[in-house]
A = this chain, B = another copy of it.
Amino acid sequence: VKRRLAELGEDRLVKRLTRSLPTLANVVHGPGDDCAVIGGPRDRVWQLLKTDCVIEGIHFTRDIEPKRVGWKALCRAISDIAAMGGEPAHALLTIALPLDLELPWIDAFYAGVRKAARQYRVAIAGGETARSPGPIFINVALTGMVERRQCILRSGGKPGDAIYVTGRLGGSLSGRHLDFVPRVIEARWLANLFRPHAMMDLSDGLGADLPRLAAASACGYRLQRELIPTNAGASTDQAISDGEDYELLFAIAPSMRTRLESAWHRKFPRLPLTRIGELIHPSHTRKPNTVRGFDHFTPAQ
């Protein structure tokens, strides 16, 4: 009997796909982080590459205002560039559309893309159109740049690091997942002044993404549930498992805590920054939390 995708789950699928892929000398970091990182060991600036998709029926439905879908499509990729400490640059869109799609939908979708592109100074440099025999399918390929000394991976965390999260989590499905604000300014400020050891954006929820950051850093983690900042109306369980928060999750030397927190609150007085736990030696980790984040290939959720 042939095994099917539904039995595998996302992380194991990605591991399976990225076995023995051809690479080149100038790929600093390939699959496994928020972006691919391209450059030489002595280059002052590295290039970031990201690809991401939104699909009708998975990430949005036809009754959502298309302008918000366009905003979300581009901002998801921008958020991944930010999570490396980088700045977005050039985007290419692939849009596969059913023949019966009404033109005002397309126009409004592009209005949302343009709004995000202007706000984050992204150039829409090209794209591709195709016919879809099923749902609307939109792919965004985005390049960015990051100063080599400010490039923050997922894998640099150390036991003892304090774990922080920006903003508040949970309840994205009430609509926030369509209007979120990628943390480009905040991430670049952090990367420049405080060099977190590891950073990523929260797309699949703390319950899925924190274990990924810890595993990439060869660490365990201790999460203090009672410290998790929740959005109004969202429970702590939702803050852990809903996903699509697009806030920053990062690990930083504990000696930085006081200076970081006071500088943050002066610089970004309206955006919370919350310490929610710490990275620990891997052998100290208990079984993962039973509350899980979002897995794209787990059917029933």
A58 located at the interface, meaning its Cβ lies under 8 Å from any Cβ of chain B in the complex: yes
Give 1 or 0 for each of A14-48: 1 = CB within 8 Å of chain B CB.
10111011111001001111011010000000000
Contact A5–B97 (Cβ < 8 Å): yes
Interface: A254 (CB within 8 A): no
Cβ of B135 and Cβ of A6 under 8 Å apart?
Answer: no
Instruction: Tell me, rounded to whole Å, the shortest Cβ–Cβ distance linking A228 to chain B.
Output: 27
Looking at the complex, which one of B21, B132, B296 makes contact with A124 (CB distance below 8 Å)? B21
Contact mask for chain A residues 279-301; partner B; CB cutoff 8 A; 1 contact, 0 none: 00000000000000000110100
Question: Which of these binds chain B: A136-144, A155-163, A177-185?
Answer: A136-144
Q: How far, in Å, is A102 (CB) from chain B's closest CB?
A: 4
Closest CB of chain B to A34's CB: distance in Å? Answer: 9
User: How far apart are the CA atoms of A94 and B73 in the complex, in Å?
Assistant: 14
Q: List 28 A-B contacts (CB under 8 A).
A: A4-B99, A4-B103, A16-B107, A18-B124, A21-B114, A22-B114, A22-B117, A22-B118, A27-B123, A31-B124, A35-B126, A36-B90, A36-B126, A38-B125, A38-B143, A49-B143, A51-B126, A53-B96, A53-B128, A55-B96, A55-B130, A55-B137, A58-B133, A130-B296, A131-B296, A133-B134, A133-B135, A139-B141
| In the bound complex, CA of A30 to CA of B92 (Å) | 10
Once A99-B299, A100-B5, A297-B99 are accepted as A-B contacts, the answer to whether A51 and B129 lie under 8 Å apart by CB is no
Please state if A127 and B58 are interface contacts (CB–CB under 8 Å): no
Please give me the 5 A-B residue pairs with the lowest Cβ-Cβ distance, nearest first: A134-B134, A141-B141, A36-B125, A36-B126, A24-B123
A232 interface hit (Cβ, 8 Å): no
Let me know if B23 and A125 touch, CB within 8 A.
Answer: yes
CB of A51 within 8 A of CB of B139, answer: yes
A86 nearest CB across to chain B (Å):
14
CB atoms of A125 and B27 under 8 A apart: yes
| Chain B minimum-CB-distance residue to A134 | B134
Q: Which A residues are closer than 8 A to B by beta carbons? A: 2-6, 8, 10, 13-14, 16-18, 20-24, 27, 30-33, 35-36, 38, 49-53, 55-58, 89-90, 92-104, 106-107, 110, 114, 117-118, 121-135, 137, 139, 141, 143, 296-297, 299
A147 to chain B, nearest CB (A): 17
Distance in Å from the Cβ of A285 to the closest Cβ of chain B?
26
Most B CB contacts (10 A, CB to CB) among A14, A114, A134 go to A134
Partner of A129, one of B14, B22, B27: B14
Q: Are A50 and B20 in contact (CB under 8 A)?
A: no
| Cα distance, A269 to B6, chains bound together (Å) | 50
Per the bound structure, the CA–CA distance linking A36 and B53 in Å amounts to 20
Q: Which residue of B lies closest to A22 (CB)?
A: B117
